[in-house]
Amino acid sequence: MRYCLSMQTDTLFRRSRYAKPQPKDRIIAINERDLRIFEAIHRHGPLPTHYLFELAKGQGDSFNAFKHRLTQLYNGTLDGKRYLLRPKQQYAAFNARYQYLVYELHSLSEVLLAENGRFSPYICSGKGHWVHQFMAACVSASMELAALKSGHRFIGKHEIFARSSCPESTRQMENPLALPHQTFSATEYIVPDDLFGIEYAGIKPKYRFLAVEIDRNTESVERSNLRQSSFGRKIHAYLKVMRSRSYSAHWGIRNLRMCTVTTNRTHLRHLCAFVQKHVDAEFAGRFVFHAEPDFGSTWRIPPVMYDLLSRPWMQGDGGLFHIDHH
């Protein structure tokens, strides 16, 4: 009873989701499902409970039992071993008190992944604004789940870099995502927010590779000079990459599209109009756009975004692009 009184609880005497870790277990035996949880976060980034359940669940798993296990891995053991973190930035979300919790990896989980041969050295930790990272993680995880649901295979960046077609020089880089392109005076780099591929089901496998850019509509799109906005600089860089096919030499892939996920359809139309204005018709169709309004200024945690694969994307030339079929 003394232990229960010392816990941080809400008005219904439940553990507070805002509380610091409150360990009570002497030991936590890590199992296969736990490793799948750690691996999913390692591959994609910070993810909410319902995404992790879909990525790591086994036959007949209970969602309530799964939530309890995540709480146990977060609280850790009495001797200080913890496996998951709850990033504080999630509590700034719209309706944060009533949403699923988001988890990140503790360093101890990374050690366990490495010991079990499931840690990729080619995955760099995310940088920049946390909501930006979280949106990219939800997009990537949704694509993996949607591909699985459609009978396709998701190919994460860690697998792309581990393939024999990817040069060793790329794998040895501090960030293998950094894609070179030539300017008049030097080599510059464009670093997408993510990179993945889809292997389509069929007798003879077909592949499509996508560089992902997350655009939360935080700055102007159209300026007098193509290089004056960050979006304009990205378009200029990707255009050089597509014309030179440097993605093939650098990543060992045969095709590439730039996929931008933004937050509303009005901004999406502005981005498409920008591409139509500044990119010639030969390449405009390789810039594609999709809007997910849950990540606007008053962002909230979305359900799994299966529509990223099932719904058509808008192309920069005004056409429609279907990721779901090759």
The amino acid at residue 12 is: L
Segment 48-89, tens digit of pLDDT: 999 999 999 987 889 999 999 999 999 999 999 999 999 999
- pTM recorded for the entire structure: 0.91
d(CA 234, CA 187): 15
The two three-digit tokens of residue 309, written as one number: 């694969």
Q: What percent of the chain has pLDDT above 90?
A: 74
Can you give the residue ranges of every domain in the chain? Answer: 2-115, 130-321
Distance between terminal CA atoms of the chain?
61
Above 90 in pLDDT, residue 165? Answer: yes
Question: What is the predicted pLDDT for the residue at 195?
Answer: 97
Residue in the block written with tokens 């500044």: 278
Question: What is the predicted pLDDT for the residue at 1?
Answer: 36
d(CA 320, CA 322): 7
State the pLDDT confidence band at 200, using cuts at 50, 70 and 90: very high
Q: What's the CATH class of domain 2-115? A: mainly alpha
Question: What is the predicted pLDDT for the residue at 4?
Answer: 43
Above 90 in pLDDT, residue 289? Answer: yes
222 exposed, middle or buried (CB, 10 Å; 0-12, 13-18, 19+)? middle
What is the SS3 string spanning the chain? CHHHHHCCECCCCCECCCCCCCCCECCCCCCHHHHHHHHHHHHHCCEEHHHHHHHHCCCCCCHHHHHHHHHHHHHCECCCCCCEECCHHHHHCCCHHHCCCEEEECHHHHHHHHHCCCCCCCCCCCCCCHHHHHHHHHHHHHHHHHHHHCCCEEECHHHHHHCCCCCHHHHCCCCCCCEEEECCCCEEEECCCEEEEEEECCCCCEEEEEEEEECCCCCCCCCCCCCCCHHHHHHHHHHHHHHHCHHHHHHCCCCCEEEEEECCHHHHHHHHHHHHHHCCHHHHCCEEEEECHHHCCCCCCCCCCCHHHHCCEEECCCCEECCCCC
Segment 6-57, tens digit of pLDDT: 555 555 455 667 778 999 888 999 999 999 999 999 999 999 999 999 999 9
